Amino acid sequence: MKIKQAIDKIPGGLMLVPLFLGALCHTFSPGAGKYFGSFTNGLITGTVPILAVWFFCMGASIDIKATGVVLRKSGTIVVTKIIVAWIVAFVCVRLLPFEGIQTGFFAGLSTIAIVTSMDMTNGGLYASIMQQYGTKEEAGAFVLTSIESGPLVTMMILGSSGVASFEPQLFVGAVMPFVIGFALGNLDHELRDLFGRATQTMIPFFAFALGNTIDLGVILKTGLLGILLGVGVIIITGIPLMLADKFIGGGHGGAGLAASSTAGAAVTNPMIIAGMSPAFAAVAPAATALVATSVIVTSILVPILTAWWCNYIKSKNSATVSGL
């Protein structure tokens, strides 16, 4: 059976398929973990320890010896994405109640859902798009997007915008596995290869555990709103990213548009942050469902839009050369 090939045909499938299976398990058999206990319970409920290992391996996979062009491109994307999400957080604080919207079409929409969907780029999706439509340096610019992985950036944005306050040790605890992995990976390239290979392997496991915190009824309830959130992510982050790519990164905007997605790992952040700050516990399930939908929407639309834009620029440049 070609199970892996079938999963790969689904945008973000390695993350979303196990997430959905976990959600099925939680929806129809919420007590399965406690019933079986032992290792099965650990697999079903082990989101945080599994993610801790993943963050460590993610840090180890980053090579500090990137070229200047790659660092400029990557830095431009990361900084712009974070600044946009930070500005959006400030706006949301003034427009949305802390507990999110409770009734009507926008029920479930909250600051944490919006910020989480915007502050992380799908690095794998970006790299695959740029390998086809961009330069080698642009494709390699996903190197720093791993810095956004995990709850640290989201915590910083929420904390600085006044949405929440976190104890200093929580910031340290959130980033420590990543930093230790980064240090070891750059001290020994063999360790980088060893741990770096595990980043993909760990994704289905933490996705399944995360899915076991979601009731499918919530996903069905927020589906259309999640689609609009995904479109909003592309518009709100895509325009500044394209401008930054053109005027700072030296590109034509294609790399910026390719970075206007929601990372699959962003789905984990609402629950992780809720574990650190119980005030978010009530809104975390709906936020998780919204972000999951945004991942799907941006994974489908961003490649299509980027391909159109890059082909448009290419044809425009060809017409200009022909006219000379």
Q: Which residues of 57-88 are buried (b: 16+ CB within 10 A; e: fewer)?
A: bbbbbbeeebeebbbbbbbbbbebbbebbbeb
What number is the average pLDDT over the span 180-190?
A: 90
What are the tens digits of pLDDT across the range 63-78? 777 656 667 777 888 8
CATH code linked to domain 13-313: 1.20.1530
What are the tens digits of pLDDT across the range 260-280? 988 877 888 888 888 888 888
User: pLDDT band at residue 222, thresholds of 50, 70 and 90?
Assistant: low
User: pLDDT band at residue 257, thresholds of 50, 70 and 90?
Assistant: very high
- Find the range with the poorest average confidence among 59-63, 108-112, 170-174, 305-309: 170-174
pLDDT at 143 (0 to 100): 62
User: pLDDT band at residue 171, thresholds of 50, 70 and 90?
Assistant: low
pLDDT at 164 (0 to 100): 67
pLDDT at 323 (0 to 100): 60
- Going by C-alpha positions, the residue among 193, 178, 194 that lies closest to residue 56 is 178
Q: How far apart (Å, rounded) are the C-alpha atoms in residues 258 and 157?
A: 23
Q: How far apart (Å, rounded) are the C-alpha atoms in residues 287 and 271?
A: 9
pLDDT at 88 (0 to 100): 93
Task: Find all residues with CB under 8 Å of 125, minimum gap 6, and list them.
Answer: 11, 12, 258, 261, 299, 302, 303
pLDDT at 55 (0 to 100): 77
**Whether residue 132 has pLDDT greater than 80:** no
User: pLDDT band at residue 316, thresholds of 50, 70 and 90?
Assistant: confident
What distances in angstroms separate CA 277 from CA 260, 270, 297, one per listed residue?
28, 10, 28
pLDDT at 91 (0 to 100): 93
- Find the range with the poorest average confidence among 133-142, 186-195, 239-248: 133-142
pLDDT at 240 (0 to 100): 96
What are the tens digits of pLDDT across the range 3-55? 888 887 775 677 778 878 888 898 888 889 888 988 999 888 887 788 788 77
pLDDT at 149 (0 to 100): 63
pTM over 0.75: no
What number is the average pLDDT over the span 157-165?
A: 76
Q: What DSSP string runs through 194-223? A: HHHTHHHHHHHHHHHHHHTT--HHHHHHHH
pLDDT at 70 (0 to 100): 66
Dihedral pair phi/psi, residue 92, rounded to 5°: -65, -35
User: pLDDT band at residue 175, thresholds of 50, 70 and 90?
Assistant: confident
